[in-house]
Amino acid sequence: MTKKQVGKRFLQIIIVLFGISFFTFGLTYLSPGDPAEIMLTECGNLPTPELLEQTRHDLGLDQPFLVQYGSWLKGVVTGDMGQSYSFKMPVTDKLVSCFWPTLKMSLLALLMMVIISIPLGILAAVYQNKFPDYFVRGITFVGVSVPSFWLGLILLSIFGVQLRWINVAGGSTDFKSMILPALTLALAMSAKYTRQVRSAVLEELHQDYVTGARMRGIKESVILWKHVLPNVMLPLVTLLGLSLGSLLGGTAVVEIIYNWPGMGNMAVKAISCRDYPLVQGYVLWIAILYMCINLLVDLSYTYLDPRLKEDR
């Protein structure tokens, strides 16, 4: 990517973030239920009309929509996303404290996914239309149809309830209790990724240079490791980046099942108690993360594919 392209991408990211934030803010504005009333009930106060009026005024809820949005946006730029109703702490602090457990788990899941998918995908591609291929394709087919929450429940009941290897109650963030949630996520994601690896390798195997190499009598293993795999890296990195994005989105279900104290778990709780500032903060934060990952993926092309370095 050239500097100009990077600049353009940054501009695009900012526009998208602006749109997303406007959308979520509008959504909370339109949704039924009065935040002031919810907040007071959460605090255990009986909401009298005067108290409601006062709270609304304090929260700035009596102001027009655009004024509210503007002041929220001003806060966001300076790192202040408001106060969470249900956790009684600044949204930014809550997000940061929930972010690390989710990131840790996602990265472990990503690692597991790579370890599972890449060998299987290559195996299936190399033995196209033979037994290993049918076997891998069969597994991945069932794999994409199994809901991650069911997989999580089954694993939890086997390893938690039957074998008692892990604590069913959850809540801790040590490595041992991270394995199962990460494995659940990894298994759920790897069905799709294995298929993508397989088709990427297949596409490369059908290139002319592979046929050429075969004709020159180069060993199949050399063709695969020295020629095909380095070329496959590029699409695989793209797909991996996209997977990390959907990992971040998919953690909610798994975190709920294993009671993992991460962002997805927090978001579901926040939405259930209509903790609007926290929900807005969460959506915006995920959007920022997702787009940064995509940008990094695009930037990594420049290193993986030297052709893109040339300024054209």
Partner 1 sequence: MKKVLRIFKENKQFTLFFILGLVVIGVAIFAPQLSPYDPLDAVMTESLQEPSSAHPFGTDKLGRDLLSRVIFGTRTSLIMTLCLVAVIFVIGTFLGVIAGYFGGIVDAVIMRIADMMISFPGLVLAIAIAGMLGPNLVNAVISIAAVSWTKYARLARSMVLKVKKSLYIEAAVVNGTKTWKILLVHVLPNMVTQMVVTAAADIGTMMLELASLSFLGFGATAPTPEWGLMLNEGRTYMAKAPWLMIYPGIAIVICVVVFNMLGDSIRDVLDPRQD
Residue closer to partner 1, measured from CB, 40 or 258: 258
For residue 268, which of 181, 168, 278 has the smallest C-alpha distance?
Answer: 278
C-alpha torsion sign, points 73, 30, 27, 17: negative
The amino acid occupying position 65 is: F
| Least separation in angstroms between CB 286 and partner 1 | 5
| Least separation in angstroms between CB 52 and partner 1 | 21
| Least separation in angstroms between CB 250 and partner 1 | 6
Given the rule CB under 8 A, which residues bind partner 1? 12, 15-16, 19-20, 23-24, 27-28, 30-32, 141-142, 144-150, 153-154, 156-157, 161, 168, 245-246, 248-250, 252-253, 256-257, 267-268, 271-272, 274, 279, 282-283, 286-287, 290-291, 294
| Least separation in angstroms between CB 43 and partner 1 | 21
For residue 227, which of 237, 218, 240 has the smallest C-alpha distance?
Answer: 218
Residue closer to partner 1, measured from CB, 22 or 209: 22
157 in Cβ contact with 164 (< 8 Å): no
Residue closer to partner 1, measured from CB, 222 or 292: 292
Residue closer to partner 1, measured from CB, 239 or 287: 287
| Least separation in angstroms between CB 247 and partner 1 | 9
Residue closer to partner 1, measured from CB, 19 or 70: 19
| Least separation in angstroms between CB 113 and partner 1 | 16
Query: Coil, strand, or helix at residue 83?
Result: strand
Residue closer to partner 1, measured from CB, 138 or 212: 138
For residue 182, which of 93, 116, 96, 267 has the smallest C-alpha distance?
Answer: 116
